[in-house]
Structure 1
Amino acid sequence: QLGVFWHTQGSGKSYSMVFFCQKIHRKFKGNHTFVIVTDRRELDAQIYETFAGTGAVSGRHVRASSGEHLEELLRQDHRYIFTLIHKFNQETETPYSERDDIIVISDEAHRTQYGRLALNMRNALPNAAFIGFTGTPLFEEDEITRKVFGNYVSTYNFKRAVEDGATVPLFYENRGEKLNITDTRINEKIAAKLDEYNLNPDEEARLEKDLSREYHIITAAKRLNKIAKDLVEHHAARWDTGKAMLVCIDKLTAVRMHNLIDKYWKDHIRKLEKEIQNTADDPEESELKKQLEWMKETEYAVVISEEQNEVRKFQNWELNIIPHRRKMKERDLDKEFKDNSHPFRLAIVCAMWLTGFDVESLSTLYLDKPMKGHALMQAIARANRVYEGKNNGLIVDYIGVLKHLRKALAAYAGTSSGEEPDPPVRPKEDLIQELEEVIAETVSFLKTLGFDLQDLLNAEGFNRIKAIKDAVNAVYTTDETKKKFKLLAREVFKKFKAVLPDPVINDFSPRHDAIRIIYQRVQKNEENADISDVMKSLHDIIDSTVESETQISEPTEDFGKIYDISGIDFENLRQKFSKSGRKNTAVHSLKDRIKAKLKKMIAQNPLR
């Protein structure tokens, strides 16, 4: 027993495995072999690619392709062997290896140590040591896991991962209660059965039989209609926050939800087209057109595993699985969904892609499947990956499972230090509070620079234009003040988008919009350096203060003039700028212009 290594999902657990193995090889004498065991093909591939990407292994010959191949690899001498636990499918009286320097790394340890396959592994490697890696904490019911591997030897919990920037925080919104479609007692019954059966095709029918009343309540047409309509409206309002995933109770429901979403999606497109026709506000019209274009190009698709006689099964429900299956077979949906630029933006699943599938830009997870324990923890972790511009992941709960997540965590096995578990998700109210705090911090920062945002909020007409210019001039006090304002403003924008479409956003819109106007003007200055009046008057000065080491003449075929920028007479420039009303803006705009020009010159002639 080497213990259990809990490393929060999405924060680099696979790399921790690599570092652990490499450290053993580096620090301890001997010829250790590491056998990395998983229970999912996609996990096996992902972990192998991580090891290969770091240079720890080369060549795919160390990946077991069958039970016979695994036995052959274990009888040989390899530093690393990668296998599914299913490859230990042969009962054996003779061990594959009796070496005592074999270390078995069991990924998602709570899933892989049960039953006949685990026993076969132990019999095949009687003297091996075992360490369990898991992305979720151990719960009280994980008694076998502790008996097999021991207690925690290392923990990297939710809070630490967020604080280190390894993952983004998760927030949840209970929309099921708002729609009055949640029945927690039914959800707990179904969650228990799903956990027991793990929903393989044969057991789906048994689930329906055992829980006929509860199942039909969850999948009632009226309820699914409410969810589909709400999901479309919710996701459309968050259209520029990233990709999304809907988790359904089973395959039939996934296809039914696709059809309902398709109906309401097209309805929403028509609604946007009418709004564009009726709006008289240019900025609002521009924003609506962007959203409309996004909705028209966005694709939503079902991703479910294939089973025998599925065409007949779906036909019995008046559903057609054929076009969905064709899409899943003919296209690489996995790759498309991971590509943030691809219009496949909403995946509808029931079991696939809930473990070992990382999509960094996935920001919203819609849950409508009763889940508990490890399955729930792994599902919500789909939304915690770090991505540029992503403030947090949002879990939208239609089924009422997250309400009991704290209860589940209260029963978890604790850490070696006895500390209390930190919840992996926080209520959306916390996110709203964070938005309030970052806006207040931005307003306070502008005040330290001598500008009151309220002046801009109250101003109209020419006074508003003057207020914007005063704000930009204040931001340009120094390079550091400009940088800090831009950082604060971007945080405001990220958290504002993250709160959408909650109606409370209306309370923040005026301040958000005012900050955005200042930010956009600063950005425009940097990009365009709109100081034509200053530049015109300084044209002669700059010509006289920039001396060329080669004679400046009209452009010819000769390429690559060299300029000595140390010859600029900045004192002369300061005297000229002393006559400007908003010196900060003028100076920084010119500085940004010169930086942009130099960057362009260097790109054109990299030898300078």
Structure 2
Amino acid sequence: MSTQSELALEQNLVVQLVENGYENVCIKNEADLLSNLKTQLEKFNERTFTDEEFKQILNHLTRTTNVFEKAKILRDKFSFKNADNETVYVRFLNMEHWCKNEYQVTNQITVDGKYQTRFDVTMLINGLPLVQIELKKRGLELREAFNQIDRYKKHSYHIGMGLFQYIQIFVISNGVNTKYFALTKKPDFKFTFYWTDENNRRVSDLESFTKVFLDKCHVSKMITRYTVLHEGDKALMILRPYQYFAVEKILERVKNSPTVGPSKNGYVWHTTGSGKTLTSFKASQILSRIPKVDKVVFCVDRVDLDYKTTLEFNAFSPGSVDGSDNTKKLVKQFADPSVRLIVTTIQKLNTAITRERHQKTMDGLKDKKVVFIFDECHRSQFGDTHKNIVRYFNNHQMFGFTGTPIFTKNAATIKRQKVTTAMLFGERLHTYVITDAIKDQNVLPFSVEYTGRYEYKDNSRSNLDIDVEAIDTAELLESEERLSKIAHYIIGIHDSKTYNRAFTGMFCISNVKTLIKYYDLFRRLKREGKHDLRIASIFSYTANEAPNSDTGEIPEEDLDFNNSKVDIHTRDVMDKYIEEYNQEFKTSFSTKDSQSFNDYYKNVAKRVIDKEIDLLFVVNMFLTGFDSKKLNTLYVDKNLKYHGLIQAYSRTNRVTGEKKSHGNIVVFRNLKQATDDSIELFSTLDAKETILIEPYEDYVEKFDQAVATLLSVVPTVGSVDDLLGEDEQLRFIRAYRNLMRIKNAMETFVDFTFDSLSMDAQTFADYGSKYLDLYNATKSSTEKKKESILNEVDFQLELIRRDEINVMYILRLLAQNRGGDEATRKKREQEILTMVSSDPVLSTKRELIEKFILENLPTVSEDELEREYEDFLSVERRVAFEKLTAEEDINPELLQKTMDSIEFSGRFPTKDELVDTLNKKPSFRKRISIGERLVVKLSEFVGKFMEG
């Protein structure tokens, strides 16, 4: 039986959509698309448009090429004056009654741009292309369909009137696997999603997906209700299935609640890192538009989370939230009928309903319909405040979101009673546990290393001779010897754990007293030149930073720690650390008042996210509610259990790019059983294999198997050049890419070394050079090979890039190589240049480096190396600049302004902007081809002289 072709897959899909109620329409080009758009908009708006009126509508639809702005146009109404001076109103999409739109399907629309492009299947709503489906035949990688859409975005969607820039949802499928996504500025395959049913079971084959997801009402509901326009990123975000089902459950419960009197509550268990803020935003936003609801109050339990959540909410929808700075302002918001959605802390809410001075205003709300949504309700709702809210509001309804619910097993005892999440919120409305999220690649698994007794090894990077099993006394925990060994150990492994600081780390410590000892030790070691890590710390200087079981931490009172209220000395220490921070980052924070300290918190959070801090020292702060994709390593010298443990570990497992394959947890306590117990409590059975990555020995076996596969395709490095045809080249690319993925995951292990592997580092790098050669050949020959299958392959250059290597690093290696005999020197020089060639950024500079080696390196001293290279580079850049301007007849001043703009903003100019730098402006017909040539030439110039 032959494999189903892509054409057959496409034809079957169209037939199924027609059976589902879509009108099959034949549209072959943009002229057909425009003619059909006029007809459909007339049908949808129930009026006829003259040609002049339709021209005005088209001008409105095409007035911007910005995809984000077009998404706003789609959702808005348009009005204009017609020839009779009457105001004409035009809608493009029925946002409130999403089923009442006009649905069509077509296939093989042709667009003539840089290449002639035929789109597989396009779904039209009211005549606009809002859903695009790209298909690949069975057996091909789904990623290839994704890469093709990325190419369309660059080359095709903007062509002509640019109506394809209105696409809201993309679907990719090879028949067996089907995913959907919204297009962002920097498309990432990791942000494509499978659809599931309510119980998180995948709907992956195309036929089932079409029946469920591409149902007319459902797909338009996803566009109108469950797509978010993120103002911060200027990007579209579409909800994942578990987010959709959670919001639907909450809406259903509120809509079915009685007008007055008690209503059913509920809670949502979505694992940490799965996007609860977006889910809760959509729930809050939609609830605030329901007529029977007077107020929606989103509650968090700390000022730092209040800031973060308000920031995110307002990024989703500017002005939708006026974050309350104080209780007086909060009370004003409650009194203002126009404010439907409020974000506040639970502490301020409690003050508003318990203090006598606010009663006059607040009492008017007692009988109003108020819906409360509690973020991180595993820790915000286990005190008297919950009782106060329940007593105060007669017509309330409560919903909680948590990544780690409180069950009987992990519940704290309050007044001799164990209080659980279900006791406070009632029924669990939807569940999405960590094993679901890892399976869907929405979060990453963990690599947990329990650092116990280490013996000296010849090939070991570091040594830590402590026994975690013996840690049961405060004396041992705080001993200078133990803290010093751990500090040196962290310094020794941090770069490998973070891929040479491509990511950041956090160190969570049991209490403030011990944190101060650690931090002072790291400060001293830095002064002594033992490390150059950028460090910072934050902790509370009041008693709330003391260990307690409500954070999931094992109390250490029995270890003789002083748990009384922190004295003034602790505040002085925090101020000293902040002053050093101020000096390094040119800021002016302090602990003089809560606002300044909160501003310090926010600044620290931003710098961790931006990778300006390498290692952050904390006790409890930042261990829950803080998200940073660039944080990948957590060092733990603190007893954690259950929800506190999972929350802390989950700071490291946010998804970003190919290089970050897992979160690193390095534990200096005996937490093996606590980790196992926590995983068992907050996931499905047999979850450890999903949540914890394999031990290093298993990766060695995987690596050697991948080497064998690679050598079966290309026995030697030279044999890559002999590969016949793209199919053989593709086999090599996939084999080497798989090897890179495994090696990438291995690099963060302390024991990683090529010595124990079946391929040495040099051979690995040599194959990497060939891999990069194929990438460069593919990208430079797209004009000749428009249908190249290699052009669709994701080469994943993130995995081949070595962040520690830059030009000066390479030149210093070469300078140090000047001694010895000629043969050895030449061999070493070739090895280093191979390293340059196998790096996607540095490979563009190989010609420059070789020229510098030949002309300058033999005579320059190592001390003068950097200055000599800068002078050399300046001369070469000027020569290349003059050559470029002469060849293309470019105005040098205009091009220099463009270069300055690239360096200042990081934004690369458009084709049109480059054409405008020419002394002689080309004809309209030639602008596109000349602009594309200028983009290529300037890209080569920037790569050679301005990057890396």
- TM-score class, shorter-chain normalisation, is 0.5 to 0.7
Measure, in 1, the Cα distance between the counterparts of 2:382 and 2:743: 48
Say which is worse superposed, 62-71 or 100-109, in terms of deviation.
62-71
Paired position in structure 1 for 2:375: 107
Q: Provide, for residues 409-429 of structure 1, a one-character-per-residue CA deviation record: whole Å limited to 9, x for no partner.
A: 4456x8xxxx53735985564
Paired position in structure 2 for 1:147: 423
Aligned residues: 474
Superposition deviation, residue 50 in structure 1: 2.3
| Distance 1:58-1:555 versus aligned 2 partners, 3 A rule | closer
Measure, in 1, the Cα distance between the counterparts of 2:576 and 2:474: 26
Paired position in structure 1 for 2:342: 81
Paired position in structure 2 for 1:49: 311
Say which is worse superposed, 31-40 or 511-520, in terms of deviation.
511-520
Paired position in structure 1 for 2:354: 91
Q: Provide, for residues 415-473 of structure 1, a one-character-per-residue CA deviation record: whole Å limited to 9, x for no partner.
A: xxxx53735985564465356436634642552x3x23xxxxxxxxxxxxxx3221354
Measure, in 2, the Cα distance between the counterparts of 1:430 and 1:338: 29
Measure, in 1, the Cα distance between the counterparts of 2:471 and 2:719: 59
- Residue 520 of structure 1 aligns to which amino acid in structure 2? S
Residues 489, 519 of structure 1: 8 Å contact kept: no
Pair 1:508-2:767 in alignment: no
Measure, in 2, the Cα distance between the counterparts of 1:267 and 1:181: 28
Matches within 5 A, 1:489-504: 489-499=739-749, 501-503=750-752
- Residue 540 of structure 2 aligns to which amino acid in structure 1? S
- Residue 16 of structure 1 aligns to which amino acid in structure 2? T
Matches within 5 A, 1:63-212: 63-77=323-337, 78-87=339-348, 88-89=350-351, 90-91=353-354, 95=363, 97-99=365-367, 101-140=369-408, 141-142=410-411, 143-178=419-454, 179-183=465-469, 186=472
Superposition deviation, residue 600 in structure 1: 0.8
Q: Provide, for residues 467-526 of structure 1, a one-character-per-residue CA deviation record: whole Å limited to 9, x for no partner.
A: 322135439744644653564244134213233x22576423735653332122332565
Give the number of the structure whose residues are more often helix, by fraction. Answer: 1
Measure, in 1, the Cα distance between the counterparts of 2:770 and 2:527: 36
Say which is worse superposed, 391-400 or 214-223, in terms of deviation.
214-223
Measure, in 2, the Cα distance between the counterparts of 1:221 and 1:38: 39
- Residue 600 of structure 1 aligns to which amino acid in structure 2? V
* Candidates 497, 502, 505, aligned match of 1:244: 505
Residues 710, 736 of structure 2: 8 Å contact kept: no
Pair 1:327-2:580 in alignment: yes
Residues 367, 396 of structure 1: 8 Å contact kept: yes
Paired position in structure 2 for 1:575: none
Paired position in structure 2 for 1:257: 518
Secondary structure of the 2:747 match is helix
Residues 489, 515 of structure 1: 8 Å contact kept: no
- Residue 242 of structure 1 aligns to which amino acid in structure 2? F
* Candidates 453, 477, 482, aligned match of 1:223: 482
Paired position in structure 1 for 2:283: 20
Residues 435, 691 of structure 2: 8 Å contact kept: no
Residues 311, 321 of structure 1: 8 Å contact kept: no
- Residue 7 of structure 1 aligns to which amino acid in structure 2? H
Residues 36, 107 of structure 1: 8 Å contact kept: yes
Q: Provide, for residues 215-249 of structure 1, a one-character-per-residue CA deviation record: whole Å limited to 9, x for no partner.
A: 33311212112211211112144352521111112
Superposition deviation, residue 392 in structure 1: 0.9
Measure, in 1, the Cα distance between the counterparts of 2:394 and 2:581: 42
Measure, in 2, the Cα distance between the counterparts of 1:554 and 1:409: 64
* Candidates 271, 286, 294, aligned match of 1:8: 271
Residues 300, 347 of structure 1: 8 Å contact kept: yes
* Candidates 409, 422, 434, aligned match of 2:687: 422
Paired position in structure 1 for 2:535: 300
Secondary structure of the 2:576 match is helix
Pair 1:348-2:610 in alignment: no
Paired position in structure 1 for 2:609: 338
Residues 7, 156 of structure 1: 8 Å contact kept: yes
- Residue 39 of structure 1 aligns to which amino acid in structure 2? D
- Residue 675 of structure 2 aligns to which amino acid in structure 1? L
Paired position in structure 1 for 2:702: 437
Normalised to the residue count of structure 2, the TM-score between the two structures is 0.45
| Distance 1:100-1:513 versus aligned 2 partners, 3 A rule | farther
Superposition deviation, residue 339 in structure 1: 0.8
| Distance 1:400-1:506 versus aligned 2 partners, 3 A rule | farther
| Distance 1:121-1:475 versus aligned 2 partners, 3 A rule | farther
Superposition deviation, residue 68 in structure 1: 3.6
Superposition deviation, residue 19 in structure 1: 2.5
Normalised to the residue count of structure 1, the TM-score between the two structures is 0.68
Paired position in structure 2 for 1:393: 663
Alignment root-mean-square deviation, CA: 4.0
| Distance 1:563-1:495 versus aligned 2 partners, 3 A rule | farther
Residues 496, 505 of structure 1: 8 Å contact kept: no
Pair 1:360-2:629 in alignment: yes
Pair 1:34-2:280 in alignment: no
Paired position in structure 2 for 1:576: none
Paired position in structure 1 for 2:244: none
Q: Provide, for residues 142-161 of structure 1, a one-character-per-residue CA deviation record: whole Å limited to 9, x for no partner.
A: 44321110132111111221
Paired position in structure 1 for 2:170: none
| Distance 1:159-1:513 versus aligned 2 partners, 3 A rule | farther
Structure 1 runs not aligned, ≥5 long: 187-213, 270-294, 453-466, 532-552, 568-595
- Residue 45 of structure 1 aligns to which amino acid in structure 2? Y
Structure 2 runs not aligned, ≥5 long: 1-263, 412-418, 455-464, 544-564, 589-602, 781-885, 890-918, 941-948
Superposition deviation, residue 563 in structure 1: 10
Measure, in 1, the Cα distance between the counterparts of 2:696 and 2:285: 40
Pair 1:375-2:638 in alignment: no
- Residue 146 of structure 1 aligns to which amino acid in structure 2? A
| Distance 1:116-1:435 versus aligned 2 partners, 3 A rule | same
Measure, in 2, the Cα distance between the counterparts of 1:397 and 1:162: 22
Q: Provide, for residues 520-549 of structure 1, a one-character-per-residue CA deviation record: whole Å limited to 9, x for no partner.
A: 2332565599x9xxxxxxxxxxxxxxxxxx
| Distance 1:405-1:50 versus aligned 2 partners, 3 A rule | same
- Residue 300 of structure 1 aligns to which amino acid in structure 2? I
Measure, in 1, the Cα distance between the counterparts of 2:478 and 2:887: 76
Residues 254, 350 of structure 1: 8 Å contact kept: yes
Secondary structure of the 2:420 match is helix
Residues 92, 124 of structure 1: 8 Å contact kept: no
Measure, in 2, the Cα distance between the counterparts of 1:521 and 1:354: 43
Residues 100, 127 of structure 1: 8 Å contact kept: yes
Measure, in 2, the Cα distance between the counterparts of 1:393 and 1:510: 26
Q: Provide, for residues 118-161 of structure 1, a one-character-per-residue CA deviation record: whole Å limited to 9, x for no partner.
A: 22222332321111101224332444321110132111111221
Q: Provide, for residues 241-292 of structure 1, a one-character-per-residue CA deviation record: whole Å limited to 9, x for no partner.
A: 52111111222322221233345567785xxxxxxxxxxxxxxxxxxxxxxx
Paired position in structure 2 for 1:523: 772
Measure, in 1, the Cα distance between the counterparts of 2:281 and 2:538: 31
Residues 311, 320 of structure 1: 8 Å contact kept: no
Residues 184, 401 of structure 1: 8 Å contact kept: no
| Distance 1:562-1:443 versus aligned 2 partners, 3 A rule | farther
Residues 172, 425 of structure 1: 8 Å contact kept: no
Paired position in structure 1 for 2:674: 404
Residues 365, 395 of structure 1: 8 Å contact kept: yes
Q: Provide, for residues 25-54 of structure 1, a one-character-per-residue CA deviation record: whole Å limited to 9, x for no partner.
A: 67x663453211110112112222222222
Superposition deviation, residue 75 in structure 1: 3.6
Secondary structure of the 1:244 match is strand
Measure, in 2, the Cα distance between the counterparts of 1:48 and 1:91: 24
Superposition deviation, residue 92 in structure 1: 6.5
Greater RCO (CA < 8 Å, at least 6 residues apart):
1
Paired position in structure 1 for 2:816: none
- Residue 313 of structure 1 aligns to which amino acid in structure 2? H
Measure, in 2, the Cα distance between the counterparts of 1:513 and 1:102: 66
Measure, in 2, the Cα distance between the counterparts of 1:394 and 1:475: 42
- Residue 324 of structure 1 aligns to which amino acid in structure 2? Y
